[in-house]
Structure formats: structure tokens, C-alpha cells
Amino acid sequence: MDIQEKLSILADAAKYDASCASSGSKGTRAGSRLGSTEGMGICHSYTPDGRCVSLLKILLTNYCIYDCQYCVNRVTSETRRARFTVDEIVRLTIEFYQRNYIEGLFLSSGIIQNPDYTMEQLALVAKSLRVEHQFGGYIHLKSIPGASENLLEEAGRWADRLSVNIELPTPADLQALAPEKKPPEITDAMDAIKQRLDQYQSDRQAGFKVARFAPAGQSTQMIVGATATPDLEILKTASGLYNQQKLRRVYYSAYSPIPHADARLPGMSPPLVREHRLYQADWLMRFYGFGSSELVAESDGNLSLEIDPKLAWALAHREMFPIDVNRAEREMLLRIPGIGARNVDRILRLRRHHAIRVSDLKKLRVAWNRTASFVQTIDHNPALKQLDAQGLKDRFKPREKQLLLFDTGQSALDGEF
Ligand code: SF4
């Protein structure tokens, strides 16, 4: 099989992994001759199915000894298989970089022979790029749960980011669909990476010259909608990962149906808006001080698909509104729908000089249509009647649109499928 054919198989197989976005590192490596992450850093864009187009995103191989039911690469799947050699990946990365197609490499793999062997191969690719080719571009390596700590350390030495996929939101989900994956092995790998990151940071702060270790931190991916587990459990798992393993990001990836799938798996993907709501809720947990349990207002444990989680929280806690922007603490200002964290800081600065009016908020471009019912200024106090109104939620629902009778008609016009 030639390298082009391998590329088409192994780049396609990698598209199911959404955990490759990153902020990149701030500077390029000392002594690099090739590749830079300086200046604007690495800019990522995504195709609609989650592929990150500025990294060469491939698998070392889609052979795998495991049989995770949600995965197209599982051992029992009848998919076409291929495997790159270490040298082939190195060559492809350099060639793509030189043609300006990519800014770095995202490399994952099915598990071959055993976790240690697979991890060693992944680390060898990164080492060869860094040492033999002085490649300074971005490298994200998928870490294999169960691999030895020495190999994780070696991988972190050459990669900018490491990730270990949690895969499914709860141990029970994993037990049902991927019994060979052991939750403790996954969290142990994350812990090992975290400990080295902490060590690296504290040694640097103490003024020691230390070898780099995954400066862009670690991330993970969770598949959503493969099981019936509701958003509340998903967010609790994510919150635990942020608090205990100090992950930079949790990526949520809507389950995509695969050929000849197990009967327990759904026949279709969950609505993409669910993934979007989870990202919004995740953002609120990380930057707005919301707890995972607070964010889910629906009785079935899922986020509302109609309105965003912050607005849903406000509607479920109307007794706390309107919030007076001239007096409230930062934590409360952050809970006002339509006002973002940056505007909260601007409001805090502004109100030191004068009392805030509606015109000030509008100048700050807050989303006034969402904010008006929840905020109090010296010239605006939404009537309690308005906050108590039964139909308030309906005002925020997206307007209904006429659907096309024939979807393909629009596709034919705009070329999008
Ligand atoms: S270990 Fe990874 S590649 Fe292998 S079947 Fe499971 S999810 Fe797929």
C-alpha cells in the first residue's frame, strides 16, 4: 500500500477524535531550524465534522487490539486497515509543513501489541521530528492509558500537548461499551502527566533549568450520545477532571454512528446543538464560577436545547434577579445573561467613576435583549411582574423558521451537503 493510500485511510480514521484544538505554545524551541509557533500562535479551524484543518491529524495505525463498540477501529470492525512507519509520519509532517499545509501534527493511534509498544512508537515520531529535523512546530500526542510512566515522560518531552481520552462519561458506560478500557488506567495516566506538569512548573519557578514537558498541558475527549447518560453526569465528570487532573480542555464529541454497530448504540448522532450546549456549560464552569449541578435545569438531567445554559439558570432562579449592576459583587454580575466576563470587568471599572445607566451597558454591547429582564441600573428596573411572567422563557426561544420542503434544493444552490 503506498503512502497516499495509507494517508487517506489514517487521516479519515482520525476525524473521530475531536480533542486536537489547542492554543499552541508561545515560543518556538531554542535551536529549531524549522517550524514556528510564535506570534499569532497556532490558528485552528474546524470542518463541520470536527476535523482540525491546520494540524496534520492522523493515526499511526487503525489496527487495534481492543473492541470498543463505539469505535470504527475496534478489532471486530470490517474497516480497511493501514499502518504508517515512524519515518513515514516524520516525512509527511515535514513535507506538509514545508508546503504550508499545516502548522503541526496531531498523532493518535489504535493500540497495537500493547500500550507500551504503541506509546513508544508515538513518542519516537515526536523525538525524530524534534531531534533529527529540529522541528519547532506544534505536536499533540495521544497518550495510551496503561503505558508506563517513563514513556509518558518521554512523550511529554517532545510534545506540546498530551491527551488521554476519557471516552465515555461514566465508568458504567465504559464497562458496557468498552470493557477493556479501565477507568483507573485512564485517570492514572492523567495523574502521571499532571504530576510531571506540576513538577516542571515548580522547578521552573524555583529557577532550575528543566527539560520541557508538554507546555500546552493535557486535554481529553468525551463522546456524547453513545449512551443514555445525561448532560448532568457528563458535566460532573468534566468538572472532576478540571479540578483533579487540571486538564486544559475537555472536548465533547457527538457520537457518530458507525457501520455494523452494536445494537445498544443509537442509530443516529445526537443533535449537534447538544454538543454546543455542553461547550457553553463547560465555559460557564471554567470562567464563570458555575458548579456542574447548577447548570442543568431540565428535569431529565439534560441541558435545554432551546436556550443557553446561563439563561436557563437565570430563568430557574428568578428570585435572585434583577441584579443591580451598580452594587452587585463580581460573582453575581457574572451570572447575568447576556453579560460576558470581559464586560463584567469593564462594568466594575466603570462604576468606580459613575453610576451605570442602560446607555453604558448598550455601549459595552451587552446582549440587551437577553439582559434587560435581569438587570437593574439607575434608570432601569424591570418590573417584578416581567420577571415573574409565565411566558418569559418563550421570549428567548429562537424564532421558528420555515423549513425547506426539499433540503437538496438548497444544497443544489449553495453546494453544501
Ligand atoms: S482503544 Fe481506541 S482505537 Fe482501539 S477500539 Fe478503543 S477507542 Fe478504538
Alpha helices in 206-271 (DSSP H): 231-244
- Chain centroid to Cα 333, Å, comes to 26
* Cβ atoms of residues 273 and 309 within 8 Å: no
Looking up cell 499545509, which residue turns up?
A: 101
Question: Measuring from atom 1 of ligand 1, which residue has the nearest CA?
Answer: 66
Q: How far is the CA of 16 from the centre of ligand 1 (A)?
A: 11
Sign of the torsion formed by the C-alpha atoms of 14, 15, 18 and 22: positive
For residue 43, what is its C-alpha cell? 490558528
Of 224, 108, 206, nearest in space to 155 by CA: 108
Instruction: Determine the Cα–Cα distance for residues 88 and 111; give it in Å rounded to an integer.
Output: 18
pLDDT (0 to 100) of residue 7 = 84
115 Cβ inside 6 Å of ligand 1: no
Q: Which of 16, 65, 73 to mutate to test the pocket of ligand 1 (most atoms within 8 A of CB)?
A: 73
Residues 6+ apart with CB under 8 A from 214: 155, 156, 159, 160, 161, 162, 193, 196, 197
Q: How far is the CA of 62 from the centre of ligand 1 (A)?
A: 9
Please provide the size of the chain in residues: 417
DSSP secondary structure code for residue 89 in this structure: H
Which helix or strand (DSSP H or E) is residue 138 part of? Answer: strand 138-142
Per-residue pLDDT of the chain (417 residues; tens, 9 = 90+): 888 888 888 888 887 776 555 444 445 566 666 665 443 323 454 443 444 547 888 999 999 999 999 999 999 998 999 999 999 999 999 998 888 888 889 999 999 999 999 999 999 999 999 999 999 888 999 999 999 999 999 999 999 999 999 999 999 999 999 999 999 999 999 999 999 999 998 998 898 888 889 988 999 999 999 999 999 999 999 999 999 999 999 999 999 888 888 888 998 888 889 999 999 999 999 999 999 999 997 788 999 999 999 999 999 999 999 999 999 999 999 999 999 999 999 999 999 999 999 999 999 999 998 899 999 999 998 876 667 676 777 777 766 665 555 554 444 444 443
Q: How far is the CA of 172 from the centre of ligand 1 (A)?
A: 17
Of 110, 106, 127, 95, nearest in space to 42 by CA: 106
Q: Which of 15, 63, 72, 111 to mutate to test the pocket of ligand 1 (most atoms within 8 A of CB)?
A: 111
Classify 220 as helix, strand or coil.
strand
Instruction: Determine the Cα–Cα distance for residues 152 and 163; give it in Å rounded to an integer.
Output: 10
142 Cβ inside 6 Å of ligand 1: no
For residue 260, what is its C-alpha cell? 455494523
Question: Measuring from atom 3 of ligand 1, which residue has the nearest CA?
Answer: 110
65 Cβ inside 6 Å of ligand 1: no
* Cβ atoms of residues 163 and 218 within 8 Å: yes
Measure Cα distances from 37 to 28, 156, 172 in Å: 5, 17, 40
Buried b (16+ CB within 10 A) or exposed e, 358-368: bebbeebebee
Residue 323: Cβ within 10 Å count:
19
Q: How far is the CA of 281 from the centre of ligand 1 (A)?
A: 27
pLDDT (0 to 100) of residue 390 = 65
Q: How far is the CA of 119 from the centre of ligand 1 (A)?
A: 14
- DSSP for 8-43, please give it: HHHHHHGGG--TT-----SSPPTT-SB----TT---
66 Cβ inside 6 Å of ligand 1: yes
For residue 17, what is its C-alpha cell? 477524535
* Cβ atoms of residues 152 and 192 within 8 Å: yes
Helices (H) and strands (E) in the chain, counts: 16, 8
111 Cβ inside 6 Å of ligand 1: yes
Instruction: Determine the Cα–Cα distance for residues 374 and 331; give it in Å rounded to an integer.
Output: 15
* Cβ atoms of residues 84 and 6 within 8 Å: yes
For ligand 1, what atom is nearest to the CA of residue 73? 8
Of 253, 256, 280, 278, nearest in space to 266 by CA: 256
Q: How far is the CA of 74 from the centre of ligand 1 (A)?
A: 6
pLDDT (0 to 100) of residue 50 = 47
pLDDT (0 to 100) of residue 33 = 64
